[in-house]
Amino acid sequence: MRLALFALAWAAVAASPAPLQGVAAVTQPHAETHPLSQQLVRVAEALDQPPVDARVDRVWHAIPGLCGWVLDVPQSERDTRTARDGRLHLVWRSAPPERRLADLPPEPIYRGPKEEKSASLMFNVSWGEESIPAILQTLRRSGVKATFFLDGDWVDKHPDLAKRIAAEGHAIGSHGRGHPDYRRLSAAAQAQNMASTNASLRHTLGTTTDLFAPPAGSYDGRTVAAARRQGMYTILWTLDTIDWRKPPADVIVRRVQQGLEPGVLILMHPTPQTADALPRILETLEKSGYRLKTVEAVVHEQRASAPPPVLRSGP
């Protein structure tokens, strides 16, 4: 579907006789005299994506940026001429933000950037192991990757299920150990709780994480600073489904429908009702034009889509 959208955009541009101005891509000085160069410049104007800088918002705290991309017109022209197959072979260069999330002072993250119509599914896991296989099955059938924030005690008790989550390609975050109220812990206890959970993740999954979701969303400035010192960003949410109260699946779906916005982080838990609601949540997101990505991709400022490597050549 993404490639079809790119193709439609290119078809509209290729048919346009309007002159090109302000091209951001790398272009040849004689592009106006070469039909192939003209086609590639039009592709650049249609599909180049500028980067978005990370920023601190008064309400939302730290908002990650977005990497962009720019078409290398000279290299694309060389590759297209070499291929000689009637298609445009496109070479894209990454365009990172000038100000990255890592450049910001320690602040919690409640959302992704609004400049991209994307959404991220988050599952905080301290219990509910009986519902996780159904959730994983739905995600697998839909080709969607989510982010699972795992409690250290839960990982120790359910190592095989934790390994299955990771093996299926989902992003892994820390949810602390034992679901404490972090605001009631000393600074040293907060740091120790985080380190202990990360040790369980390393031992069981052979991986580390840069994502920390405080239990019950309870945190203070010490929490955010301690997480940052351990190489983690503190993750909250934009949209809380409140599914831990186990409302009917219809209620969970409706909350998602009413709370959608670009950059939304959707918080869920492994309950039977959430497992029942998930196929309709994914359907809602698709019909509403949202692209899904992990919270890991959000903090790494990666886009939910990539530019096409080839396109049909225009007239």
Q: Where are the domains of the chain?
A: 2-48+66-99, 118-299
Q: Which CATH number fits domain 118-299: 3.40.50.720, 3.30.420.40, 3.40.190.10, 3.20.20.370?
A: 3.20.20.370
Taking the C-alpha atoms of residue 7 and residue 311, their distance in angstroms, rounded to an integer, is: 7
Q: pLDDT (tens digit, 9 = 90+) per residue, 269-280? A: 999 999 999 999
Whether the model clears a pTM of 0.75, i.e. scores above it, the answer is: yes
Q: Which of 184, 291, 190, 186 is nearest to 234 (CA)?
A: 190
Cα(first)–Cα(last) distance of the chain, in Å?
23
Place of tokens 């730290």: 62
pLDDT at 109: 98
Find out whether 24 and 48 touch, Cβ atoms under 8 Å.
yes
SS3 percent helix, strand, coil of the chain, rounded to 5, is 45, 20, 35
Q: pLDDT (tens digit, 9 = 90+) per residue, 207-264? A: 999 999 999 999 999 999 999 999 999 999 999 999 999 999 999 999 999 999 999 9
Q: Which of 105, 85, 118, 309 is nearest to 225 (CA)?
A: 105
Q: How confident is the model at residue 158 (pLDDT cuts 50, 70, 90)?
A: very high
Residue type, 306: A
Q: pLDDT (tens digit, 9 = 90+) per residue, 60-117? A: 999 999 999 999 999 999 999 999 999 999 999 999 999 999 999 999 999 999 999 9
